[in-house]
Amino acid sequence: MATVISPHPNPLPKGARGLNVPFTGFVISLIKWILLMKSVTSAQRPYQEVGAMIRDLIIKTPYNPGERLPPEREIAEMLDVTRTVVREALIMLEIKGLVEVRRGAGIYVLDSSDSQNTDGPDANVCNDAGPFELLQARQLLESNIAEFAALQATREDIVKMRQALQLEERELASSAPGSSESGDMQFHLAIAEATHNSMLVELFRQSWQWRENNPMWIQLHSHLDDSLYRKEWLGDHKQILAALIKKDARAAKLAMWQHLENVKQRLLEFSNVDDIYFDGYLFDSWPLDKVDA
């Protein structure tokens, strides 16, 4: 069971508690984040720089195909960066075919012959945020969306959410490897639409599209056992829906927050991280204390 990370006890900002208004400052911050993400075309992200450093380490040591690299923790200490950035850099190198991350076994060199391709701008990889950065943004966005949806949702909105959960259950029951996860997307979309705020719906759609088109996310996701994690996350979705039905804004926010924290914990577990409680994009506490105070 993942440790419950509890948000601030009063999740609504002063002056807005009990009112049907969005968290304006938060939405403005998210819009700025969207515009910033769209403006990034050539600047390297931290994981790209670290990926180039790891590539250089492989070449200069040198490491031959089949040899094992130092553990993530040692690489992070050696390069003086966080382990999350190292994890994302390794996913990038795995996509490039330079290394293979074997869960529980370590990081192995595959081929350094194409290493020159790992440090330049790449329209499909280098201009995308890392998977854990995307999840962090989703956690901030969707927990607030769920909070507001609890105050705005109509009976028809609840019906759409229930239909999405029924689709999730059918997809899970099929047990087909790589089966569709459209029920998952439809559930989260139904919550965004329940806010009846087109800007929030568009923010959600954009974040989901980045997730679906991100090669690093796809690579990380490929390590998961569908039936295991989808069953867990279906249970999370039912808790979120229960809070929305009760129009309990705080419970809805907590449930969505914890759901996406569980997603991050599971992805970290399946990405060969031996200690999931490390620096990076995991929240140790509710990050908006100063705003909520």
Examine the domain organization and report whether 92 and 146 are in the same domain: no
Q: Is the pLDDT of residue 257 over 80?
A: yes
pLDDT tens-digit readout, 53-105: 888 888 777 888 888 888 888 888 888 888 888 888 888 888 778 888 777 77
Per the model's pLDDT, the better-predicted residue between 175 and 253 turns out to be: 253
- Give the per-residue pLDDT at 27: 52
Q: Is residue 188 part of a domain?
A: yes
Query: So what's the pLDDT on residue 108?
Result: 85
Same domain, 151 and 251: yes
Q: What is the DSSP-derived secondary structure letter of residue 118?
A: G
Other CB atoms within a 10 A radius of the CB of residue 78 amount to: 13
The CA radius of gyration of the chain, in Å to the nearest whole number, is: 20
Same domain assignment for residues 137 and 58: no
| Biggest CA pair distance of the chain | 63
247: alpha, beta or left? (left if phi > 0; alpha if psi -120 to 50): left
Which residue has better confidence, 68 or 11?
68
* Residue 220 located in a structural domain: yes
Q: Which pLDDT does position 271 carry in this prediction? A: 59
For 149, half-sphere exposure in the C-beta direction (CA atoms, 13 angstrom radius) is 34
Same domain, 224 and 174: yes
Q: How many domains does the chain have?
A: 2
Helix (H, G, I), strand (E, B) or coil at 222: coil
Domain identity same for 140 and 70: no
Cα angle at 216 between 145 and 227, to 5 degrees?
70
CATH number, domain containing residue 243: 1.20.120.530
Confidence at residue 149, expressed as pLDDT on a 0 to 100 scale: 98
Q: How far apart are CA 175 and CA 109, in angstroms?
A: 33
Neighbours of 89 (CB within 10 A): 30
If one compares 183 and 217, the residue with the highest pLDDT of the two is: 183
Percent of the chain at pLDDT > 70 equals: 66
Q: Whole-number mean pLDDT of the chain?
A: 74
Give tens-digit pLDDT for 36-50.
554 444 456 788 888
Q: Would you state the pLDDT for residue 79? A: 84
Mean pLDDT value of segment 24-44:
52
Q: Which of 77-81, 170-174, 190-194, 219-223 has the lowest mean pLDDT?
A: 219-223
pLDDT, tens digit (0-9, with 9 covering 90-100), for 122-163: 444 334 567 788 888 899 999 999 999 999 999 999 999 999
| Judgement on whether residues 171 and 288 belong to the same structural domain of the protein | yes
**Between residues 229 and 274, the one the model is more confident about:** 229
Last residue of a domain, one of 69, 86, 118: 118
Q: How far apart are CA 277 and CA 286, in angstroms?
A: 16
Q: What mean pLDDT comes out for the span 228-234? A: 83
Range of the domain at 84: 46-118
Mean pLDDT of 245-249: 97
Interhelix angle 83-95/46-60, rounded to 10 degrees, is: 70
User: Which tokens in the block code for residue 37?
Assistant: 């993400």
- Measured CA distances, 258 to 95, 158, 235, 237, 254 (Å): 29, 21, 12, 10, 6
Q: What is the pLDDT of residues 266-293, one digit of tens each?
A: 777 765 544 444 444 444 445 544 444 4
Q: Are residues 66 and 205 in the same domain?
A: no
In this prediction, residue 1 has a pLDDT band, given cuts at 50, 70 and 90, of: very low
Which of 78-82, 199-203, 226-230 has maximum average pLDDT?
Answer: 199-203
Residue that is written with structure tokens 């962090």 in the block: 136
Supply the DSSP symbol for 163.
H
Are 126 and 44 within 8 A, CB to CB?
A: yes
Residue of 82, 83, 89 lying closest to 47 (CA atoms): 89
**Bridge partner list, 102:** 106
